[in-house]
Structure 1
Amino acid sequence: MAVAYSAGADSTALLLAAHRRWPGRVTAFHVHHGLQAAADGFETHARAFCALHGIALQVSRVQAAHSLGESPEAAARDKRYTSLAGMAKQAGVDGVLLGQHADDQAETVLLALSRGSGLPGLAGMAERFERHGAVFGRPLLGVASADLRGWLQAVSHAFIEDPSNTDVRFTRNRIRAVLMPAWNACFPGFRTMLARCARHAAQAQILLDDLAQLDLIQSGEPPAMAVLRVLGRERQANALRYWLRHSHGVAASAAQLDELLDQIADCRTRGHRIHLKIASGFVDRSGDRLIYTPPDII
């Protein structure tokens, strides 16, 4: 088993708990992002901490700088998961544990609400998921950040405070600094309530995915428009979202999906062409079927 260890409070608590539960069987994975001068200090602390406690440590250095037009948070997150998955494969471990906790889950749901996200966003972070061929788990989603820090302080275990966590240029940090205290003042215990909402959303999304799979069995893949038109508009939208997400790894905006549904409804002659931008690629008509062409093929 491996733990993604940043040297911050949350991952420190998780690493120590895992080490106590499986002594001698846990490896710490530390990703050096290269995004800030303090990153060298994180690695130095991680090495000293793991040596002190007799925990095996692997360090991976990545360049997590974002490209033009790319979200800095998304770029860093993707590089981190890619690196963790690579270390997991190299070490031959079954899975990687992540230190996200109840506060992180609440922030994720509030962020999704602020963006007008659908059920996948409102479902928050999954307790278990796969990415880049590795299995990841989040065992602390039911534990508050204050409880983790309180335990570390009670047993006198050192951790690093990441200075970027107070940078309010990042949306999540603004939610943490401004919105979370306001919610707590109005609704004490809101973290538990938001976690419950996330579970309900995740359950509802599972049912919608099951329905989409049944509809795509009928329409075939790529989906046939004649079969889609028999379905109601909402059910068409659900099937198309699932097809785009699971077959091509992309998500259509609400405006793009509405336009695609309108074109499917109007496309009843051989000469009617569909060529609609979805994410960074295009959905086109090929005979009576819809095909998606990613940007690297266009």
Structure 2
Amino acid sequence: MSDNDLSPISTREARRLFAGLKSAPALVLAVSGGPDSVALMWLAARWRRSLARGPGLTVVTIDHGLRREAAREAREVKRLAAELGLPHRTLRWRGAKPKTGLPAAAREARYRLLAQAARAAGASHVLTAHTRDDQAETLLMRLLRGSGLAGLSAMAPHSERDGIVLARPLLEVPKAQLIATLKRAGIGFADDPTNRDTAFTRPRLRALLPLLAAEGGDARTLVRLAARLARANAAVELLADGAERFLRLRDRGDAPQVGLRSFEALAFAGLPEEVRLRLLLRAINALGHEGPAELGKVEALLAALDQAITTSPRAAAKGRAILKQTLAGALISLAGGRIQIAPAPARRRKGG
């Protein structure tokens, strides 16, 4: 960790972090009360005050109803927001909580509520306080799960969800620098004990980071790797776009039928494997009703298609279907020399 990682963020640096958001109509700040999100709120408020004209800021705290301290922490965020002249809302995740997969369910609920708050405030963006440390942990989590190139790109600085842009302006900033910024400003913050609860994957990986850093795998190095993988992923996406256009030209430029994706089998088989995989993923996720499709299952489907095309080229050219499979609510078939993806028939309910 360098000395810069321990120095407070200057006004000039804060302006650089938020510069791309100056023309937004309004912004929602996701603030839980922890050091990262409190620093986001304080830095955004200081940046907004430096502008003659700029977006309105609304602070939103999500109370998941999982910890008794959450209500008190939300009230403290409201107090800090008022001191900064910012409106604040607390939204609660109501209803039964799942017994398994709780972190993922809580994350899904959080983003859904934040998107609702953004629409209510007329905001185009929701700002979250993900840091360089979070990015490194995300890369490790996805690496251990065997994610593909897109997953190993980790979190993007900007992404879209429910028509709202999720912006992560602190993604290159180390957590230590945010804490130093708050200490310099004399601003307190909450300590969430679940961040150290080794019952969850992320805290366990967080505890490993010092050991990885001793071997040269510090957060800065891991984040640089994620950025390089994101760059490669963007290039492959462009190749997949070009491949879709190529396959349409093979079909004499015909526009794809609504509710159906169709590829000439032999032309499809001649494309690079990663491109073929992405074309299948796109089609299945667009037309299936049980998605998103699991990467491993799409890889298995692609292998089956490749084998069918290679070993039965004559049969593939005739009308007889030589492969038919459902995946993630999509029906994939190989017949008449074409691969077709369409919505699968709805499953029958048991006892129906």
> Taking structure 1 as the reference length, what is the TM-score of the superposition?
0.88
Identical amino acids, percent of aligned pairs:
31
2-structure distance, mates of 1:274, 1:60: 49
Highest Rg: 1 or 2? 2
- Measure the CA separation in 1 of the matches of 2:273 and 2:124: 42
Cα deviation for residue 18 of structure 1 reads 0.3
Matches of 1:92 and 1:13, distance apart in 2: 23
- The aligned residue for residue 163 of structure 2 is 133
Corresponding position of 2:202 = 172
Q: What CA distance in whole angstroms lies between the structure 1 residues aligned with 2:205 and 2:281? A: 28
Aligned to 2:84: 53
CA displacement at 1:246 relative to structure 2: 5.9
Residue 150 (structure 1) aligned to one of 169, 180, 196: 180
1:274 matches 2:323: yes
Counterpart-to-counterpart distance in 2, 1:161 and 1:295: 49
The offset of 1:262, in angstroms, is: 1.8
Q: Unmatched 5+ residue regions in structure 1? A: none
1:236 aligned residue: 276
- The 8 Å contact of residues 268 and 276 in structure 2, kept in 1 or not, is answered as yes
Distance 1:192 1:283 in 2: 43
Task: Give a deviation string over 1:223-252, Cα, whole Å, max 9, x none.
Answer: 324231233444322322343456656233
Matched, 1:219 2:269: no
How far has the Cα of 1:57 moved from its partner? 0.7
CA 1:141–1:85 in structure 2 vs 1: closer, same or farther (change >3 Å)?
Answer: same
For residue 129 of structure 2, give the secondary structure of its aligned residue in structure 1: coil
Cα distance change on mapping 1:229 and 1:277 into 2, 3 Å: same
**2:277–2:298 Cα contact (<8 Å) kept:** no
Match for residue 73 of structure 1 among 83, 103, 115: 103
Instruction: Give the drift of 1:134.
Output: 0.4
Runs of 4+ aligned structure 1 residues displaced above 6 Å come to: 294-298
Contact residue 334 and residue 340 of structure 2 kept, 8 A: yes
**TM-align CA RMSD:** 2.5
User: In structure 2, what is the Cα distance between the partners aligned to 1:295 and 1:162?
Assistant: 46
The equivalences for 1:78-157 within 5 A come to: 78-157=108-187
In structure 2, what is the Cα distance between the partners aligned to 1:204 and 1:111? 19
Could you tell me which amino acid in structure 2 is paired with residue 271 of structure 1?
R
Of the candidates 300, 304, 315, which is equivalent to residue 262 of structure 1?
304
Matched residue type, 1:208: V
Aligned equivalents of 1:124 and 1:294: distance in 2?
31
Q: How far apart, in 1, do the equivalents of 2:134 and 2:164 lie?
A: 22
* Offset of residue 198 of structure 1: 1.0
Count, aligned residues: 294
Asked whether the 8 Å contact 1:275–1:282 carries over to 2, the reply is no
Look up the equivalent residue of 1:274 and give its one-letter code. L
Moved more, 238-247 or 8-17: 238-247
Contact 1:3 1:28 (C-alpha < 8 Å) held by counterparts:
yes
**1:114-164 deviation line (CA, Å, top 9, x unaligned):** 111111111111001110110111111111111111221222201111121
Task: Confirm or deny: 8 A CA contact 2:28 2:117 kept in the other structure.
Answer: no
User: Aligned partner of 2:40: which letter?
Assistant: L
CA–CA distance in structure 2, aligned partners of residues 17 and 113 of structure 1: 32
Change (3 A) 1:15 1:232: closer
Which among 260, 269, 292 is matched to residue 250 of structure 1? Answer: 292
Deviations 1:180-237 (A, max 9, x none): 121122227x222111111111111111111112222233551324231233444322
Partner Cα distance (2:206, 2:271) in 1: 42
1: CA distance, partners of 2:206 / 2:156: 20
Cα separation, 2, equivalents of 1:31 and 1:76: 10
Counterpart-to-counterpart distance in 2, 1:73 and 1:275: 36
Q: Structure 2 unaligned segments of length 5 or more: list them.
A: 1-26, 50-54, 249-255, 310-315
Which range is displaced more, 249-258 or 18-27? 249-258
| TM score, norm. by length of structure 2 | 0.75
Kept in 2: contact 1:119–1:205 (CA 8 A): yes
Structure 2 counterpart of 1:251, which letter? A
1:3–1:15 Cα contact (<8 Å) kept: yes
